[in-house]
């Protein structure tokens, strides 16, 4: 993307991905930042993981999420911004009973755009973890 506007109803390259039951629509991509819109249905989540090379953030548009940093749970609702620094494990949960809508971003872009393309429709958790590790996202093992 050199410059310009991605209209609300559009996606970069007409792409949208289904990842862990959520719909991700890319809105901006440069070497330095990647931004996507996410629809997060009730009772879906992104398991705890680490971005070793990227800072990540969420701006909640509608609905409510819980962000977990280890044992800490942080609620986030409309208008709230969540910061997840590189190297810090975090999980994203929608336990509200209603769909949430938000904008995510990472900086730098890294390999996340390619990762979402590879994960589109993947349902096997072990495959999701393997592919993610190849793209600089490390999922934590489930609590034992």
- Calculate mean pLDDT across residues 79-98: 97
Give the closest residue to 64 by CA, choosing from 45, 88, 51. 45
The pLDDT mean for the chain works out to 94
* Crossing angle for the helix pair 112-119 and 125-134, to the nearest 10 degrees: 160
Helices within the chain (DSSP H only)? 112-119, 125-134
Poorest-pLDDT segment among 18-22, 52-56, 79-83: 18-22
Q: What pLDDT digit, counting tens, does each position of 102-143 carry?
A: 999 999 999 999 999 999 999 888 999 999 999 999 999 766
Q: What is the pLDDT of residue 37?
A: 97
Task: Work out whether the CA dihedral 116, 13, 58, 100 comes out positive or negative.
Answer: negative
Q: What is the pLDDT of residue 1?
A: 61
User: Confidence class of residue 144 from pLDDT cuts 50, 70 and 90?
Assistant: low
Structural domains in the chain? Answer: 13-136 (2.60.120.10)
Radius of gyration of the CA atoms of the chain, in A? 14
């Amino acid at each position: 993307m050199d410059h310009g506007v991605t209209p609300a109803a559009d996606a970069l390259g007409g792409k949208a991905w289904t990842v862990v039951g959520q719909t991700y629509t890319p809105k901006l991509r440069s070497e330095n930042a990647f931004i996507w819109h996410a629809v997060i249905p009730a009772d879906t989540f992104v398991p705890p993981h680490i971005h070793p090379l990227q800072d990540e953030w969420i701006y909640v548009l509608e609905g409510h999420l819980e962000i977990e940093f280890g044992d800490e749970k942080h609620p986030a609702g409309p208008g709230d911004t969540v910061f997840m620094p590189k190297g810090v494990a975090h999980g994203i949960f929608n336990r509200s009973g209603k769909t949430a809508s938000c904008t995510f971003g990472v900086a730098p872009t890294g390999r996340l755009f390619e990762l979402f393309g590879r994960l589109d429709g993947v349902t096997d958790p072990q495959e999701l973890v393997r592919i993610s590790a190849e793209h600089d996202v490390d999922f934590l093992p489930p609590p034992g």
